[in-house]
Structure 1
Amino acid sequence: MNILRNSLAVAAASTLLALTAACGSGQTAVCEEAIKAFTDYSSKAAAAAGDVKGLNTATADLAAQLKDLSGKADGDVKVALAGMADSWGSFKIDLKDPAAAAKLSEFGQKATQATQELGSACS
């Protein structure tokens, strides 16, 4: 569980760094809201240590926030946020799933790609 939580925290931290560096576009407010969403998510994920349901809820909440933000954005930022919302929204931890480790790896790749797209769009 710690590996899973740590992996999600790393993905969120990577996104935060990309957003912080990329907030130079005309959509600064949306970028700042996205940074806040990821900061809040990191806190919630840390607080949910050992609580799969809590971590899944925090992840679903982040996906909903990103989807809402995509509605406030334009162009590439909108597309990138929607992609991130889809990536985070499709991730749910199921400890009974034998393929959970592979899904975590796939999720990490999707989150990284979406982060890069958002970073490019916000710059």
Structure 2
Amino acid sequence: MTPEELKAACLDHHGAVEDFPFAPEVSVFKVAGKVFAITRLDEHPLAVSLKSDPDLAANLRAAHAAIRPGYHLNKRHWNTVTIDGSLGEEMVLDMIEDSYDLVVKSLTRAQRAALGG
């Protein structure tokens, strides 16, 4: 997965936007103002931090060397995923979607309604 493909995968979700609240080189992807993905698109190897169900997060870390506790994030709820080819692209896309879905699920009914879709 290239940086452009990662960015497109994050922005492909309804209402997703890219923001730069930390630094110009740190892309933060949000829905309704809440973060679901953080990455440095110029980083080698490419990595992305994604929200995850706590039990699933621990299981993923135990099963895959490319998945580790979220860098500078709540380690219980976030994983940092290194995109080095060891994980299938479909798996990375599924983790992005899961992260987005977790954030949308946490929104108020009014916020979800404002998203449409």
Query: TM-score if structure 1 supplies the norm length?
Result: 0.43
Larger % of strand: which? 2
Higher relative contact order (CA 8 A, sep 6+): 1
Q: TM-score, normalised by structure 2?
A: 0.44
The answer to which structure has the higher helix fraction is 1
